[in-house]
Amino acid sequence: FDFSFQPSISEQRVKETLTCRYIANGENRILLGPPGVGKTHLAVSFALEAITQGATALFLTADDVAAECQKAEVKGTLSRLVSKWSRPDLLIIDEVGYFPFDELAANVFFQVVSRRYEKGAIILTSNKSYIEWGKVFGDDVLATAILDRLLHHAVTFNIKGESYRLREKKKAGVFPVSKPK
């Protein structure tokens, strides 16, 4: 990870997360920031280290969550899906907030977060600040309940900065280079 390109990220907090102690403690890691700043890169790195240390992990995008919920509802297997997502030592959900959850996905998400609370670690990435999560879940009360459980034992990485993906395009002159503020 290029800490010099994203100086808003604490290298010490990343290294602490890589010890994987948060998994044994049932804690969460939440990575917030605009597209391209390294949220998914860090989440995958944390998950790979956890697997290397013997933990089980499951990676889903928010889109996967919504699609799997729809399939499970049709099949009548929603409770089985909640159990499946509650089992791994580490659950990673990527791209929360890129589109709003429908009511079914939001409710299943709440059930999973509630079941994992203080038992199973979660890593979430999102491009939305916490204040916007009411829109993501379609319900302010539900979003508050989700955040209450997620944040009780969590470290938030609030990543600010430029997109890694656009960095090379800017160097090549495809996009204008913005001046630091």
Which stretches within the chain are classed as H helix? 11-18, 21-24, 39-52, 62-75, 78-86, 103-116, 133-137, 140-152, 164-171
Please give the Cα distance from 108 to 128 (Å, whole number): 20
Q: Is 147 among the domain residues? A: yes
Domain span including residue 35: 11-168
- Whether 94 maps to a domain, the answer reads yes
Residue 36 has pLDDT above 60, yes or no: yes
Mean pLDDT over 149-169 rounds to 86
Is-contact 131 102, C-beta < 8 A?
A: no
> Is a pLDDT exceeding 70 seen at residue 15?
yes
pLDDT for the residue numbered 5: 81
For residue 59, being part of any structural domain is answered with yes
Give the pTM.
0.90
Average pLDDT, the chain: 93
**Confidence bin at 18 (pLDDT 50/70/90):** very high
Q: What is the average pLDDT across 153-173? A: 81
pLDDT of 180 over the 80 cut: no
Residue 23 clears pLDDT 80, i.e. is over it: yes
Mean pLDDT for 38-65 is 97
Residue 3 lies in a domain: no
Is the pLDDT score of 167 beyond 70?
Answer: no
For residue 2, the model assigns a pLDDT of 82
Which residues have a Cβ under 8 Å from the Cβ of 80 and sit 6 or more positions away? 72
Mention every residue, 6+ apart, whose C-beta is less than 8 A from residue 131.
none
Closest CA relative to residue 61, chosen from 88, 27, 101, 4? 101
Which pLDDT band holds residue 161 (cuts at 50, 70, 90)?
Answer: confident
Angle at CA 23, nearest 5°, toward 18 and 25?
A: 120
Whether residue 60 contacts residue 96, with contact meaning beta carbons closer than 8 Å, is answered with no
Task: Indicate the pLDDT class of residue 3, thresholds 50, 70 and 90.
Answer: confident
Counting the structural domains of the chain, the total is 1
178: pLDDT strictly greater than 70? no
pLDDT value at position 169?
66
In a domain, 2, yes or no: no
Which pLDDT tens digit goes with each residue over 75-113? 999 999 999 999 999 999 999 999 999 999 999 999 999
Q: How high is the pLDDT of residue 163?
A: 79
Here the CATH number for the domain that contains residue 120 is: 3.40.50.300
Does any domain span residue 155? yes
